[in-house]
Amino acid sequence: MDKASIIRFSDTVRDKLFQETQRKAAYYGIFPDTIQDVDEEFEDSIVIGGRVFNKRIKQQREQLVREVKEKSYDQVIDEITYTWFNRFVALKFMEVNGYLPVKVFSSDEPNKQEPDILTKSPELDFLNIDRDTVIDLKSGSKDEELYKYLTLSLCNYLNDIMPFLFEPIEDYTELLFPGKLLHTDSILVDLNEIIKEDDWKKVEVIGWIYQDYIAPRKEKVFKDMKKNIKISKENIPAATQLFTPYWIVRYLVENSLGRLWMLNRHHSRLFEQMEYYIKPEQSETDFLRINSPEEIRICDPACGSGHMLVYAFDLLHSIYEEEGYALSEIPEKILSHNLFGIEIDKRAGELAAFALTMKARKKQHNFFRNPVHPNICALQSISFEDDELRSYMAAIDSHLFTTDLQRTLLQFGEADNFGSLIRPATTNVSDIRHMLNEKNLSSNLTLFTTHQKVLKVLEQADYLSPKYHVVIANPPYMGGKGMNAGLKTFALDNYPNSKSDFFAMFIERNLDMTIQKGMVTMITMQSWMFLSSFEKLRESILDNHTILSMAHLGPRAFDSIGGEVVSTTAFVIEDVQYPEYKGAYIRIVDGSSEAEKDAWLREAVMQARNIETNQMEVPR
């Protein structure tokens, strides 16, 4: 994948969209420091700053003005810029892969400049469009306006398939739809030319684009840290987002999910497609039993744009095929039963769901006809007023709300700060969720609002329950010096053995999220292996769990991070202690690039398959 082109694409399209969004806002009299009043209002028009507008934009503009006053000009412009960036990227990906009924940015005909969605506009029966409007715009040569109308209609059509990404478009967002898209130097040219078509065919491109989109924000956060400015909860995603190289993902997934399946199906041929799978040195009899693929639950508690889950999807698909499931039913089963992702970054969570949906569509041509939404939970902060919960519980039945359940309902006030590190006081909320879902409180607006909040908390608590066979993660890396005050206090109170860094707290937390004999597999900084500040964490792991394998990668395992900034280790831990177990340990701390370490890791795995040893150091 051409990473340089992806960076250039993200920078170019983001900056152009940002400038265009500002230009459109200014066109309607909305500037960073001032908002022009409506000068005059007539029956069919309004005047703003000397410009005459059709009166139908009045309500859209009023909504935009309210948003700017409530949030700030910069935040609204940023949100709208990202909305259109995100949708254009998603549409481009689907266009290149043939998942859309019509091309939006290009044409099937070579050397034809006009997008097919314009040329074929009278034939787009699958869209809910007004034919007279299309004819009027077409005959009036209003191509820009027609293109906007058709693109918005397509986004609304996709809302039925992927509501998590193509949410109903707000009036004010539609008002600031980018203009001049059909010009020769427009964003459409960048969408079509900067990233090679072959790279658009790999779903990982979505994650790489997002990481580069938020790169300027990440740079600002780290500059601020040098001034002793802590990382606010709003900036945690940008500061900690790091896309995991594919070879590391494969090592993690194949030695957890792949291992679990091989233990349960000794005659499986799955190992033939797992280049990074380390076969157990001796035959094992004490392991987590799996009767069918549908039982397996895999969670990434800091899933980002879903890279780990995407590869788990591939491996699961092979597992289902091997078990004789019909190809047409496998994608639905994987998304319904097997894969779960948790995120504090709503945008990244949307992209994770999109990536998994694209995987499903690739495997099942008719998936969009009856889509299944991926199990991705973007954690929301939810709090209650002092008397709010008391009134609600009294109306429902106070006896149903145990002390632990009441504590759980109050644990999500800073979910966007603490994320998956929250340990719900109630570890099984399935029954109470089911019971409360049956309640109809729509006649009482106050109770209904509280009811929806309670249900959302319980949904989030359910995702965080200890129910997974495999927990897989590249967690956030953040030392104590960067933590905001609330996060630092939370760490001290809840993670005394691992409080020094975000990633270490995630090691401890992830071990809570598995069922007994389940596996935790992670790529983290290597410091927990050596530093005295992590001594109690190491003791806890060795006393209560079993390290099955570890690839000590050292520095330069991430090409996207220069030099020796981050030294890492990848490992698989089983949630049970086997005192005599000899794990497989691979040391590849040398090497100057991902490619070199990848090659050495595969070489070491082949050694592990062919010779009896419990520690391999790749020869240089």
Total residue length of the chain: 620
Per-residue confidence at 613, pLDDT binned at 50, 70, 90?
very low
Query: Does residue 235 surpass a pLDDT of 90?
Result: no
Taking only the tens place, the pLDDT of each residue in 464-503 is 998 999 999 999 888 888 899 999 999 999 999 999 999 9
Q: How far apart are CA 1 and CA 307, in angstroms?
A: 15
Please say if the pLDDT value at position 575 is more than 80. Answer: yes
Q: Phi/psi at 584 (nearest 5 deg)?
A: -100, 120
- Would the pLDDT of 566 be above 90? no
554 — alpha (psi -120 to 50), left (phi > 0) or beta? left
* pLDDT of res. 252: 97
- 86-100 residue pLDDT tens: 999 999 999 999 999
| pLDDT score recorded for residue 574 | 96
How many whole angstroms separate alpha carbon 135 and alpha carbon 132? 5
> Which helix (DSSP H) or strand (DSSP E) does residue 17 occupy?
helix 3-27
Strand order in the sheet with 298-300: 375-378, 339-343, 298-300, 468-473, 514-525, 567-574, 546-555, 584-587, 615-617
202, containing H or E segment: none
Rounded Cα gap, residues 31 and 25, in angstroms = 7
Residue 278 has pLDDT above 70, yes or no: yes
338 or 619, higher pLDDT: 338
Q: Which is more confident, 616 or 19?
A: 19
* Strand duo 51-54 + 339-343: pairing: unpaired
pLDDT on residue 217: 86
Q: Reduce the DSSP state of residue 371 to 3 states and report it.
A: coil
Query: Across-strand partners of 339?
Result: 298
**Phi first, then psi: what are they for 470, rounded to 5°?**
-135, 130
| pLDDT at position 241 | 74
Q: Give the pLDDT confidence of 302-352 residue by residue, as tens digits.
A: 999 999 999 999 999 999 999 999 999 999 999 999 999 999 999 999 999
The structure tokens listed for 79 are 């949100």
Domain residues of the chain, as ranges? 3-202, 239-343+345-375+468-480+497-617, 388-463
Predicted confidence at residue 562, as pLDDT, reads 59
Looking at beta carbons, which pairs linking 435-440 to residues 24 or more positions away fall under 8 Å?
435/400, 436/396, 439/396
Cβ neighbours for 467, distance < 8 A, ≥ 6 positions apart: 297, 513, 515
Stated pTM of the model: 0.93
State the CB neighbour count (10 A cutoff) for residue 69.
Answer: 11
Residue 129 CA, distance from chain mean position: 32
Q: What percent of the chain has pLDDT over 70?
A: 97
Average pLDDT value for residue range 71-83: 93
Q: Is the pLDDT of residue 80 over 50?
A: yes
Per-residue pLDDT, 563? 52
Q: 113 to each of 110, 184, 188, 535, how far by Cα in Å? A: 9, 9, 10, 63
DSSP 284-320: --SS---SSGGG--EEETT-TTSHHHHHHHHHHHHHH
Least confident of 38-42, 176-180, 440-444, 561-565: 561-565
The region of weakest confidence among 117-121, 125-129, 265-269, 510-514 is 125-129
Name the CATH superfamily housing domain 239-343+345-375+468-480+497-617: Vaccinia Virus protein VP39 (3.40.50.150)
**pLDDT for residue 478:** 86
User: What does the alpha-carbon distance between residue 231 and residue 244 come to, in Å, rounded to a whole number?
Assistant: 22
- pLDDT at position 220: 87
pLDDT tens profile 373-386: 999 999 999 999 98
SS3 619: coil
Q: Which residues contact 298 (CB under 8 A, 6 or more apart)?
A: 257, 309, 312, 316, 338, 339, 340, 468, 469, 470, 471, 472
The yes-or-no verdict on residue 282 having pLDDT over 80 is no
159: part of which helix (H) or strand (E)?
A: helix 143-159
What number is the average pLDDT over the span 243-272?
A: 94
Report the SS3 class of residue 381: coil
What is the share, in percent, of the chain residues with pLDDT greater than 90? 72
Q: With beta carbons less than 8 A apart as the criterion, state whether 363 and 326 touch.
A: no
Q: Read off the pLDDT of residues 416-455 as tens digits, 9 standing for 90 and up.
A: 999 999 999 998 999 999 999 888 888 888 899 999 999 9
Element (H, E) at 541: helix 535-544
User: Could you tell me the pLDDT band of residue 620, with boundaries at 50, 70 and 90?
Assistant: very low
**Quick one: average pLDDT of 538-549?**
95
Q: pLDDT at position 123, please?
A: 87
What pLDDT score does 205 carry?
A: 94
**CA gap 287, 294 in Å, rounded:** 18
**Which pLDDT score, from 0 to 100, does residue 565 have?**
66
The per-residue DSSP string of 124-158 comes to -TTS---HHHHHHHHHTT-HHHHHHHHHHHHHHHH
How much is the pLDDT for 260?
Answer: 97
The pLDDT value recorded for residue 611 is 55
Burial 108-137 (b: 16+ CB within 10 A, else e): eeeeeeebbbbeebeebeebebeeeebeeb
Taking all residues of the chain, what is their mean pLDDT, rounded to a whole number?
A: 91
Phi/psi at 300 (5° precision):
-110, 110
Would you call 312 exposed, middle or buried from its count of C-beta atoms within 10 A (0-12, 13-18, 19+)?
A: buried
